[in-house]
Amino acid sequence: MIIGICGQSGSGKTTFAKNLFNFLKFFNKNLKIIIISMDNFYKGKSKFSEEEMEKFNNNNLNLDAPKMINFNDLLRTIYNIKNGKPFTLPIYGRMENDIINTYHIYDTYDIIIVEGILVFQNKKLFNLFDIKFYIETRNLIALKRRLNRYDKTIREKKISYYRRFVVPSIKKYIEPYKDKVDFIIDGTKSLEENLNENIIMKIYNKIL
Protein backbone atom coordinates (compact mmCIF):
# COMPACT_ATOMS: atom_id res chain seq x y z
CA MET A 1 0.00 0.00 0.00
CA ILE A 2 1.21 3.49 -0.86
CA ILE A 3 -0.17 6.48 1.06
CA GLY A 4 0.18 10.08 -0.11
CA ILE A 5 0.06 13.03 2.29
CA CYS A 6 -0.10 16.58 0.93
CA GLY A 7 -0.51 20.03 2.44
CA GLN A 8 1.31 23.32 2.64
CA SER A 9 4.61 23.74 4.47
CA GLY A 10 3.94 23.79 8.21
CA SER A 11 0.52 22.18 7.88
CA GLY A 12 1.48 19.12 9.91
CA LYS A 13 2.26 16.55 7.18
CA THR A 14 5.35 15.12 8.84
CA THR A 15 3.65 14.85 12.24
CA PHE A 16 0.62 13.16 10.69
CA ALA A 17 2.86 10.76 8.75
CA LYS A 18 4.74 9.76 11.92
CA ASN A 19 1.53 9.36 13.91
CA LEU A 20 0.00 7.29 11.10
CA PHE A 21 3.15 5.15 11.10
CA ASN A 22 2.74 4.50 14.82
CA PHE A 23 -0.97 3.77 14.43
CA LEU A 24 -0.32 1.25 11.66
CA LYS A 25 2.38 -0.47 13.73
CA PHE A 26 -0.04 -0.65 16.67
CA PHE A 27 -2.63 -2.04 14.26
CA ASN A 28 -0.17 -4.71 13.14
CA LYS A 29 3.31 -4.77 14.69
CA ASN A 30 4.61 -7.00 11.89
CA LEU A 31 3.99 -4.41 9.18
CA LYS A 32 7.15 -2.97 7.65
CA ILE A 33 6.57 0.71 6.95
CA ILE A 34 8.75 3.47 5.55
CA ILE A 35 8.14 7.22 5.39
CA ILE A 36 9.52 8.99 2.32
CA SER A 37 9.76 12.79 2.54
CA MET A 38 9.54 14.70 -0.72
CA ASP A 39 11.92 17.24 0.87
CA ASN A 40 14.80 14.82 0.28
CA PHE A 41 14.21 15.06 -3.45
CA TYR A 42 14.62 18.81 -3.76
CA LYS A 43 16.99 20.06 -6.42
CA GLY A 44 19.87 21.12 -4.17
CA LYS A 45 21.72 24.35 -4.79
CA SER A 46 24.74 22.39 -6.05
CA LYS A 47 22.54 21.64 -9.09
CA PHE A 48 21.35 25.23 -9.58
CA SER A 49 22.12 27.06 -12.79
CA GLU A 50 23.93 30.39 -12.51
CA GLU A 51 20.61 32.19 -12.91
CA GLU A 52 18.94 30.08 -10.23
CA MET A 53 21.88 30.60 -7.88
CA GLU A 54 21.70 34.36 -8.33
CA LYS A 55 17.97 34.34 -7.61
CA PHE A 56 18.52 32.08 -4.60
CA ASN A 57 21.14 34.39 -3.14
CA ASN A 58 18.72 37.30 -3.53
CA ASN A 59 15.82 35.42 -1.88
CA ASN A 60 14.08 35.46 -5.25
CA LEU A 61 13.97 31.79 -6.23
CA ASN A 62 10.70 29.92 -5.80
CA LEU A 63 11.63 26.65 -4.10
CA ASP A 64 7.94 25.77 -3.75
CA ALA A 65 7.46 25.03 -7.46
CA PRO A 66 7.30 21.54 -9.07
CA LYS A 67 10.39 22.18 -11.20
CA MET A 68 12.47 22.20 -8.00
CA ILE A 69 11.62 18.55 -7.24
CA ASN A 70 13.46 15.56 -8.74
CA PHE A 71 10.24 13.65 -9.39
CA ASN A 72 12.00 11.07 -11.56
CA ASP A 73 14.28 10.12 -8.66
CA LEU A 74 11.34 10.09 -6.25
CA LEU A 75 9.31 7.83 -8.57
CA ARG A 76 12.28 5.52 -9.12
CA THR A 77 12.73 5.21 -5.37
CA ILE A 78 9.08 4.34 -4.82
CA TYR A 79 9.08 1.81 -7.67
CA ASN A 80 12.17 0.15 -6.19
CA ILE A 81 10.59 -0.02 -2.73
CA LYS A 82 7.35 -1.37 -4.20
CA ASN A 83 9.24 -4.06 -6.11
CA GLY A 84 11.54 -4.99 -3.25
CA LYS A 85 14.69 -3.66 -4.91
CA PRO A 86 17.59 -1.91 -3.13
CA PHE A 87 17.44 1.88 -3.32
CA THR A 88 19.42 4.96 -2.39
CA LEU A 89 17.70 7.60 -0.27
CA PRO A 90 19.12 11.14 -0.46
CA ILE A 91 19.04 13.34 2.65
CA TYR A 92 18.35 17.03 2.07
CA GLY A 93 19.56 19.58 4.62
CA ARG A 94 17.12 22.47 5.05
CA MET A 95 19.77 24.83 6.36
CA GLU A 96 22.28 23.78 3.70
CA ASN A 97 19.67 23.82 0.91
CA ASP A 98 21.36 20.81 -0.60
CA ILE A 99 21.79 17.04 -0.41
CA ILE A 100 24.06 16.36 2.57
CA ASN A 101 24.07 12.55 2.65
CA THR A 102 22.69 9.37 1.08
CA TYR A 103 21.61 6.04 2.53
CA HIS A 104 21.62 2.71 0.72
CA ILE A 105 18.65 0.61 1.82
CA TYR A 106 18.20 -3.08 1.06
CA ASP A 107 15.07 -3.83 3.08
CA THR A 108 11.53 -4.40 1.79
CA TYR A 109 8.36 -2.70 3.01
CA ASP A 110 4.63 -3.42 3.15
CA ILE A 111 3.53 0.22 3.33
CA ILE A 112 5.10 3.34 1.83
CA ILE A 113 4.03 6.72 3.25
CA VAL A 114 5.01 9.64 0.99
CA GLU A 115 4.62 13.16 2.34
CA GLY A 116 5.36 16.54 0.80
CA ILE A 117 3.87 19.81 -0.38
CA LEU A 118 3.89 18.82 -4.06
CA VAL A 119 3.43 15.04 -3.99
CA PHE A 120 0.13 15.31 -5.87
CA GLN A 121 1.58 17.52 -8.62
CA ASN A 122 3.14 14.64 -10.54
CA LYS A 123 0.44 12.62 -12.31
CA LYS A 124 2.33 9.30 -12.20
CA LEU A 125 2.99 9.73 -8.51
CA PHE A 126 -0.58 10.81 -7.80
CA ASN A 127 -1.91 7.68 -9.49
CA LEU A 128 0.33 5.43 -7.38
CA PHE A 129 -1.33 6.38 -4.11
CA ASP A 130 -3.87 3.91 -2.72
CA ILE A 131 -5.00 6.46 -0.11
CA LYS A 132 -4.60 10.23 -0.34
CA PHE A 133 -4.68 12.63 2.61
CA TYR A 134 -4.83 16.43 2.47
CA ILE A 135 -3.65 18.23 5.60
CA GLU A 136 -5.58 21.48 6.04
CA THR A 137 -4.17 24.19 8.32
CA ARG A 138 -4.71 27.95 8.34
CA ASN A 139 -1.90 29.95 6.73
CA LEU A 140 -1.12 31.89 9.91
CA ILE A 141 -0.59 28.71 11.93
CA ALA A 142 1.47 27.11 9.17
CA LEU A 143 3.63 30.23 8.84
CA LYS A 144 4.28 30.30 12.60
CA ARG A 145 5.35 26.65 12.54
CA ARG A 146 7.54 27.33 9.53
CA LEU A 147 9.27 30.28 11.18
CA ASN A 148 10.02 28.23 14.30
CA ARG A 149 12.35 26.09 12.19
CA TYR A 150 14.70 28.98 11.57
CA ASP A 151 16.92 31.29 13.58
CA LYS A 152 15.32 34.63 14.48
CA THR A 153 17.94 36.49 12.43
CA ILE A 154 16.47 35.24 9.14
CA ARG A 155 12.77 35.21 10.02
CA GLU A 156 12.05 38.52 8.26
CA LYS A 157 13.60 37.10 5.12
CA LYS A 158 11.46 33.96 5.46
CA ILE A 159 8.26 36.00 5.92
CA SER A 160 9.02 37.93 2.73
CA TYR A 161 9.63 34.68 0.87
CA TYR A 162 6.41 33.18 2.27
CA ARG A 163 4.30 36.09 1.00
CA ARG A 164 5.88 36.22 -2.45
CA PHE A 165 6.21 32.53 -3.24
CA VAL A 166 4.63 30.17 -0.72
CA VAL A 167 1.11 31.63 -0.68
CA PRO A 168 0.80 31.75 -4.52
CA SER A 169 2.21 28.19 -4.73
CA ILE A 170 -0.36 26.97 -2.20
CA LYS A 171 -3.18 28.33 -4.33
CA LYS A 172 -1.72 27.07 -7.62
CA TYR A 173 -0.17 23.72 -6.74
CA ILE A 174 -1.66 22.46 -3.47
CA GLU A 175 -5.22 23.65 -2.81
CA PRO A 176 -6.62 22.35 -6.15
CA TYR A 177 -6.06 18.79 -4.90
CA LYS A 178 -8.18 19.26 -1.82
CA ASP A 179 -11.23 18.00 -3.73
CA LYS A 180 -9.36 15.02 -5.22
CA VAL A 181 -8.26 13.22 -2.07
CA ASP A 182 -9.82 10.49 0.02
CA PHE A 183 -9.65 12.32 3.33
CA ILE A 184 -9.10 15.89 4.59
CA ILE A 185 -7.24 16.07 7.89
CA ASP A 186 -7.26 18.98 10.35
CA GLY A 187 -3.58 19.80 10.86
CA THR A 188 -4.26 21.33 14.29
CA LYS A 189 -5.81 18.17 15.75
CA SER A 190 -4.33 14.91 16.97
CA LEU A 191 -4.45 11.66 15.01
CA GLU A 192 -7.08 10.31 17.38
CA GLU A 193 -9.30 13.34 16.73
CA ASN A 194 -8.89 12.98 12.96
CA LEU A 195 -9.37 9.23 12.66
CA ASN A 196 -12.84 8.02 11.85
CA GLU A 197 -14.44 4.76 10.82
CA ASN A 198 -14.10 5.52 7.09
CA ILE A 199 -10.34 6.08 7.35
CA ILE A 200 -9.78 3.02 9.51
CA MET A 201 -11.87 0.77 7.25
CA LYS A 202 -10.15 2.01 4.08
CA ILE A 203 -6.73 1.31 5.60
CA TYR A 204 -7.90 -2.05 6.91
CA ASN A 205 -9.26 -3.11 3.50
CA LYS A 206 -6.08 -2.04 1.71
CA ILE A 207 -3.87 -3.94 4.15
CA LEU A 208 -5.93 -7.07 3.66
Residues 16, 135: contact at Cβ < 8 Å?
A: yes
Q: Over the range 15-30, which residues count as b (16 or more CB within 10 Å of their CB) and which as e?
A: ebbebbbeebeeeeee
Please give, one letter per residue, the 3-state secondary structure of the chain. CEEEEECCCCCCHHHHHHHHHHHHHHHCCCCCEEEEEHHHHECCHHHCCHHHHHHHHCCCCCCCCHHHECHHHHHHHHHHHHCCCCEEEEEEECCCCEEEEEEEECCCCCEEEEECCCCCCCHHHHHHCCEEEEEECCHHHHHHHHHCCCCHHHHHHHHHHHHHHHHHHHHHHHHHHHHHCCEEEECCCCHHHHCCHHHHHHHHHHHC
Domain boundaries, the chain: 2-207
Four-residue CA torsion sign, 80, 82, 84, 90 = positive
Q: Choose which CATH entry (3.10.20.600, 3.40.50.970, 3.40.50.300, 3.40.50.1220) describes domain 2-207.
A: 3.40.50.300
- Which of 207, 60, 200 is closest to 130 using CA atoms? 207
| Statement: the pTM of the whole predicted model exceeds 0.85 | yes
- Which of 114, 115, 120 is closest to 174 using CA atoms? 120
In a structure prediction context, what are the per-residue pLDDT tens digits for the chain, which is 208 residues long? 999 999 998 999 999 999 999 999 988 889 999 999 999 999 999 999 999 999 999 989 999 999 999 999 999 999 999 999 999 999 999 889 899 999 999 998 999 999 999 999 999 999 999 999 999 999 889 888 888 887 777 778 888 888 899 999 999 999 999 999 999 999 999 888 998 888 988 888 877 6
